[in-house]
Amino acid sequence: MNKPLVSVIVPTYNRAHCVNRAVDSVLEQTYPDCEVVIVDDGSTDNTQQTIKDRYGGNDSVKYLKKQNGGVSSARNAGFKAALGACIALLDSDDIWKKRKIESQVAVLNALPQVGMVWSDMEAVDPQGELLQERYLRTMYHAYRWYEDGGLFAEHAKLAELTTVDLDPVSGTEVYWGDIFSQMVMGNLVHTSTVVLTRDRLDKVQGFNEDLRITGEDYDFHLRTCREGPVAYIDASTIAYQIGADDQLTHPSLTLHMAENFLKTIEPVIEQDRARIQLPDEMIRQVLAEAHGWIGRELLKTGRNSEARKALTRAAKLAPRERDTWVWLAATYLPKSAHNLAKRAYRRLHASGP
Long-range Cβ pairs for the range 324-331 (8 Å, 24+):
324/288, 324/292, 324/295, 327/292, 327/295, 327/296, 327/299, 328/295, 330/299, 331/295, 331/299, 331/304, 331/305, 331/307
pLDDT of 352 reads 42
pLDDT of 243 reads 78
Q: How far apart are alpha carbons 51 and 48 in whole angstroms?
A: 5
Q: 148: how many CB neighbours lie within 10 A of its CB?
A: 6
pLDDT of 299 reads 92
Q: How far apart are alpha carbons 324 and 86 in whole angstroms?
A: 44
Nearest alpha carbon to residue 219 among 182, 188, 261, 269 = 261
pLDDT of 335 reads 67
Element (H, E) at 241: strand 230-241
When the candidates are 3.30.300.30, 3.90.550.10, 3.30.450.40, 1.25.40.10, the CATH number that belongs to 6-239 is 3.90.550.10
The pTM of the full predicted model, rounded to 2 decimals, is 0.91
Q: 333: how many CB neighbours lie within 10 A of its CB?
A: 14
Which residues share a beta bridge with 38? 10, 63
Q: How far apart are alpha carbons 87 and 78 in whole angstroms?
A: 10
pLDDT of 168 reads 82
DSSP code for 162: S
Nearest alpha carbon to residue 255 among 298, 289, 208 = 298
Radius of gyration of the chain (CA): 21
Fill in the amino acid letter for 217. D
Q: Going residue by residue through the chain, which has 353 residues, state the pLDDT in tens, using 9 for 90 and above.
A: 678 999 999 999 999 999 999 999 999 999 999 999 999 999 999 999 999 999 998 999 999 999 999 999 999 999 999 999 999 999 999 999 999 999 999 999 999 999 999 999 999 998 889 999 999 999 999 999 998 778 999 999 999 999 999 988 789 999 999 999 999 999 999 999 999 999 999 999 999 998 877 889 999 999 999 999 999 999 999 999 987 654 444 556 889 899 999 999 999 999 999 999 999 999 999 999 999 999 999 998 889 999 999 999 999 999 999 999 999 999 998 766 656 555 655 555 554 43
pLDDT of 2 reads 77
